Chains A and B, each alone.
Chain A
């Protein structure tokens, strides 16, 4: 048995092959193949009910797959050496629920005992997620964001090599989201592999190394955000700022180019065009000289890509 799977760019630590999960007639997960490489931040995105959480639970060994095989570091999560595998994993469930009657510190002490980790790590984990001040307060007094951060601190106990984070930023304010991703960057530099789900696509599009789009239990596409954009072949959008008097000149300059329908706004025009025509459009606009006050090019967002694949 091979313990590691070589993929085109790196060693896969999480490998799923032909994974199905059926609940009666419902196919929650329907033939999923995944390779998640060592040290990458991998995003799993999809609508509610697309099968992300089910896939997560199967990867963690919480529920058995109806068919197919999932391995972490070459080992089956629910197999004989599941304890050893589990000790390398940290998990933050969606809408994490912790024990209200315990303090933040007691919560981490409890989980560190279960993970077989020194309780001394608890203080450092609380510090890392910015909860050191609230360590001795009961979880019942915590806000939703604080609970989420405590859940994250729990996932970090034992310095896991693989982190599963299910909607990790739900309930966090923008400042907390920023510091959350700062911790993820730090973890990535330490070589930790992370799998993250989110439905806030704008938030993860600049942050994940690769992602997979899941709809109706299937992986529709996977790769880097840029690769998916190219695969989807969505238009780029030019925003051309100019005086209304010059709108006609801009339209005339672009008339001979294969661009989409130009939209007129109060102080600018928007011009969709295919990627291969981007430079030609820039040259045509540059030829107008000072009549174009400003110009920006927007790449299709992850949201555009996502809807492109899921529609």
Chain B
């Protein structure tokens, strides 16, 4: 594997997103949402203004869990199928580059764009909020940003995988939306439904482990467990064994969610 081929393709993908202002637009969306949530997050309690960072982060987690998977899937769904459909893939494949290098170059370039806009967007909001942050809160906020990046990278990996499998862009976009629905909306409902239907008899023990099968839930757990004030707000966390709540372990699970779809994509792309 030649790293230079990967970085050449990755830097093209990254600068494409900088030049067409994709990175700027997404960063501004993140900044705006973060500030609005920080200011209005406690409106239900009858007051507005900047409040405890834990509550702000909890609200941001709820938002990011919808937004980032969607943005990552939209960013990555046509990575390969788009090149194939436009007709530029043949020329790329005729270069002295392997298919794995093409896949990784595409992925790392897009991941860099997503990471940059996430860090810039929430980072800017963090700077604005910094007078309210003590060191501990800052640590949590940075943790939230970092886990947001991981969440984005995991869904980007899923997007790149389906862009290898899909036969055209239309199908790829449909699959991307279906994946979003499944992981963000349907998955938790299914688990809860299974618990309710079986009266809690079935799956009580494996339930926490099943949550790991969804990168969005891993992200939620990662953030919720870091915040003492918030932990109690989430009913689900009471059933979660503390051993699984180790942030390093959850980080590893996220990395697996990045590596596995890429591995499957690479296997399929070579065929």
Contacts and interface: CB of A to CB of B under 8 A. Distances in A.
A56 B92 CA distance: 15
A101 B93 CA distance: 20
Given A110-B8, A114-B5, A114-B8, A99 B88 contact: yes
Contacts of B5: 114
Given A62-B90, A93-B87, A97-B86, A82 B19 contact: no
A57 B87 CA distance: 13
Contact of A114 (B20, B86, B96): B96
Contacts of B8: 110, 113-114
Interface string A109-147: 011011110000000000000000000000000000000
Contacts of A82: 96
B95 interface: yes
Contacts of A154: 91
B97 A114 contact: yes
B16 interface: yes
B90 A57 contact: yes
A114 B96 CA distance: 7
A96 interface: yes
Contacts, number: 53
Interface centre among B9, B86, B87, B95 (most CB of A within 10 A): B95
B12 interface: yes
Contacts of B238: none
A95 B86 CA distance: 10
B235 to A, nearest CB: 48
A101 B20 CA distance: 9
Contacts of A185: none
Interface residues of B, number: 20
A78 to B, nearest CB: 10
B96 A95 contact: no
Nearest to B91: A93
A221 interface: no
B94 interface: yes
A28 interface: no
Contact of A96 (B4, B16, B91): B91
Interface in B66-102: 86-88, 90-97
Interface stretch (A9-17, A83-91, A273-281): A83-91
Nearest to A111: B95
A32 interface: no
Contacts of A113: 4, 8
A60 B91 CA distance: 10
A95 B91 CA distance: 11
Contacts of A259: none
A114 B95 contact: yes
Interface of A: 57, 60, 62, 82-84, 86-87, 89, 91, 93, 95-99, 101, 110-111, 113-116, 151, 154
Given A110-B12, A114-B95, A151-B91, 13 more contacts: A62-B90, A62-B93, A86-B94, A89-B94, A93-B87, A93-B90, A93-B91, A96-B91, A97-B86, A110-B8, A111-B95, A113-B8, A116-B96
